[in-house]
Structure 1
Amino acid sequence: MKDGHPTEHQARGLWLGTLGVLIFALTLPMTRLAVGPVEAPQLPPLFVTAGRAAGAGLLSLAYLWLTHARRPQPSEWPLFGISALGTVLGFPLFLALALREVPSMHAAVVTGILPLGTAAVAAWALGQRASLGFWACAVLGCGLVMAFALHEGGGQMVQADGWLLLAILSASIGYVAGAKLSATWPAEHVICWVLVLSLPLTLPAALWTWPTAPASAAAWGGFAYVTVFSMWLGFFAWYRGLALGGTLRVSQVQLIQPFAALLLAVPVLGEPLQASTVAFSLAIIGVVLVGKRMPVGAPSAARKDS
């Protein structure tokens, strides 16, 4: 492992994984830029959701044609559908609705428990027996998120926090479905087919919700970013990094995503970086790091056979 190709593959995988995480970290401030705050709205959240997926779907259609990708079998459609509902529709929509009401830094802290949420859904869906320590970290992470939301909301949660929790749940379910497909498919083809199969819904929705009011160039720039990078190329770098460097090793890079989103929101949106926001973010990152090290057993026989 210290000489030859394995080390080179691991290094390349880590760099690609880091690139993917940085691309995803910019999703929050760029989505906020696209939709704008309540007092100065820009592009409608429904258009940002459908438009980014439709644009990425058209790019995926060209990519699949150029790479001569095989078509999904009918038995695979349900998993593709679940992945689409979670990653193409649910997560972007709930995130856009939340970012109309709260700063991207707020969303970065709350969505910091996404890795634990994904692991929890995977443990349930795949029949894996997670340890008591893992579930304790999951509960503690959720508790920290709730405490942060209450702190920021002056003692009560706001509607945006509910949208963010739904975004986390949607992404977790979508990621697990995509991971199951990636066991027999090239990872890049999975996200491309998910986007292409969503086109009959996302393309008409994008045209129907096309903004009637003018929006700033910055808002359209944010929309372009989440279309090309967040919804498409980011997955290429992330999935390829996992394949080259190993899932266990490269997935640890995801721990920097919430903090990277906080820092990137400063130059992109000019949001002030509060000490309490940094403290909660670091605490959640610490809990996720400990939780990811907790043992998760093999799938049970009942789920294996199903």
Structure 2
Amino acid sequence: MSPLFVGSGRAVVAAVLAAAALGLTRQRLPRGRQWFRLAVVAGGVVVGFPVLTSFALTSVPASQGAVVIALLPAATAVLAVLRGGERPPRAFWVVAVAGAAVTVLFTATRGGGLDGPNWADLLLLGAVVAGGIGYAEGGLLARELGAWQTISWALVVAAPLMVAFTGLSIARQPLTGDAAGWAAFAYLSLVSMFLGFFAWYRGLAIGPMSSVSQVQLVQPVLSVAWAAVLLGEVLGWRTALAGAAVIACAGLAVRVRSRPGPEPTGPAVVAERGVPEPASRSRRRG
């Protein structure tokens, strides 16, 4: 399958599921600036991250891509500070930067020297930036709309563009693929592009996002392991060492306590915690 079809087609399938879920549960429409923020989320996690990684992984091993993507938690933490006003302590940044440095070093030396990144590495780094923006904005928006509602509306917002990309990819390269390929595509559409965000955005909404985001450093280890099992990739000692190092940094980063920041608010958080809204707010709504 073409990388453009893999990156966009899965969003189209997920958008159909999202529209059905929103319609069946009669969710209210987002309001005002929320539409713009949903477009930011869609640009990051529906368009940017899937499409860029799909193109990059046509020329680099999945194990290498997984370690580069380990930069994503650090990017999310930075954007959580810039966008959400969080204030992680200095110890958090030490271990987060250490994990990011390991991934950069691995990428730069994978061929035995510091020759600089190639185009696939640049695509992966672009995906990291796009994903970090989408995660940080989505985590904030999930406090207002709810976790599954946020990704569902983002998929709906991006649907026209992704339908166009899907049609273009099919026109350029007719659909092909064996049963395993279509099973992988179905998994990407249902789990990676849709259901997985339910729990992820809920966790980010509870926060603090800077700490919660570091849990995702477990992803490279899992991706490396599955690449060996499903794709038969041979894992070198550098990949194993880099994976172990970033996971160690993730464990330390999650354990570091952040200084108090803005309290997560919004109807979704209030409903989840079971805390009654202030009487003044209830009277205004009435």
TM-score of the two chains, using structure 1 as the length reference: 0.76
Match of 1:212 in 2: 173
Alignment-mate amino acid for residue 128 of structure 1: E
Alignment-mate amino acid for residue 204 of structure 1: A
Query: Does the aligned pair in 1 maintain the 2:88–2:259 contact within 8 Å?
Result: yes
Query: Does the aligned pair in 2 maintain the 1:117–1:138 contact within 8 Å?
Result: no
**Which of 219, 224, 236 pairs up with 1:257?**
219
1:252 shift after superposition: 6.8
Name the SS for the 2:160 alignment partner.
helix
Q: 1:55 to 1:146 in 2, by over 3 A?
A: same
1:48 shift after superposition: 1.5
Output the CA distance in 2 between the equivalents of 1:174 and 1:243: 11
Match of 1:8 in 2: none
Q: 1:126 to 1:167 in 2, by over 3 A?
A: same
Between 231-240 and 79-88, the greater mean CA deviation after superposition: 231-240
**Which of 228, 249, 268 pairs up with 1:266?**
228
Q: 1:257 to 1:183 in 2, by over 3 A?
A: same
2:179 is equivalent to residue 221 of structure 1? no
Match of 2:83 in 1: 125
**Which of 100, 105, 118 pairs up with 1:158?**
118
Output the CA distance in 2 between the equivalents of 1:153 and 1:275: 13
Name the SS for the 1:69 alignment partner.
coil
Output the CA distance in 2 between the equivalents of 1:48 and 1:110: 20
1:243 shift after superposition: 8.9
Alignment-mate amino acid for residue 173 of structure 2: T
Alignment-mate amino acid for residue 44 of structure 1: S
**What 5-or-longer segments of structure 2 have no aligned partner?**
263-286
Output the CA distance in 2 between the equivalents of 1:47 and 1:216: 12
Root-mean-square deviation (Å): 2.4
Between 82-91 and 107-116, the greater mean CA deviation after superposition: 107-116
Between 170-179 and 270-279, the greater mean CA deviation after superposition: 270-279
Match of 1:198 in 2: 158
1:76 shift after superposition: 0.7
Query: Does the aligned pair in 2 maintain the 1:131–1:296 contact within 8 Å?
Result: yes
Match of 1:293 in 2: 255
Aligned structure 1 segments of 4 or more residues deviating by more than 3 angstroms: 237-240, 246-255, 292-300
1:197 shift after superposition: 1.1
Output the CA distance in 2 between the equivalents of 1:296 and 1:169: 23
How many pairs align?
Answer: 256
Query: Does the aligned pair in 1 maintain the 2:7–2:51 contact within 8 Å?
Result: yes
Between 269-278 and 131-140, the greater mean CA deviation after superposition: 131-140
Q: Deviations over 1:97-152 (max 9, x none)?
A: 21011111111111123222211110111233333333333332232112101221
1:222 shift after superposition: 2.0
Output the CA distance in 2 between the equivalents of 1:243 and 1:166: 22
Output the CA distance in 2 between the equivalents of 1:201 and 1:256: 32
1:250 shift after superposition: 7.4
Aligned 1:1-306 pairs, distance under 5 A? 43-155=1-113, 156=115, 157-210=117-170, 212-213=173-174, 215-217=176-178, 218-239=180-201, 242=203, 247=207, 254-299=216-261
Output the CA distance in 2 between the equivalents of 1:102 and 1:277: 13
Q: Deviations over 1:238-293 (max 9, x none)?
A: 445x399x657976754432211111112211112222211101101112332333
Match of 1:7 in 2: none
Query: Does the aligned pair in 1 maintain the 2:62–2:227 contact within 8 Å?
Result: yes
Name the SS for the 2:27 alignment partner.
coil
1:192 shift after superposition: 0.4
Query: Does the aligned pair in 1 maintain the 2:204–2:213 contact within 8 Å?
Result: no
Higher relative CO (Cα under 8 Å, sequence separation at least 6) belongs to 1
TM-score of the two chains, using structure 2 as the length reference: 0.81
Output the CA distance in 1 between the equivalents of 2:144 and 2:125: 30
State percent identity of aligned pairs: 37
Query: Does the aligned pair in 1 maintain the 2:73–2:214 contact within 8 Å?
Result: no
Output the CA distance in 1 between the equivalents of 2:10 and 2:111: 30
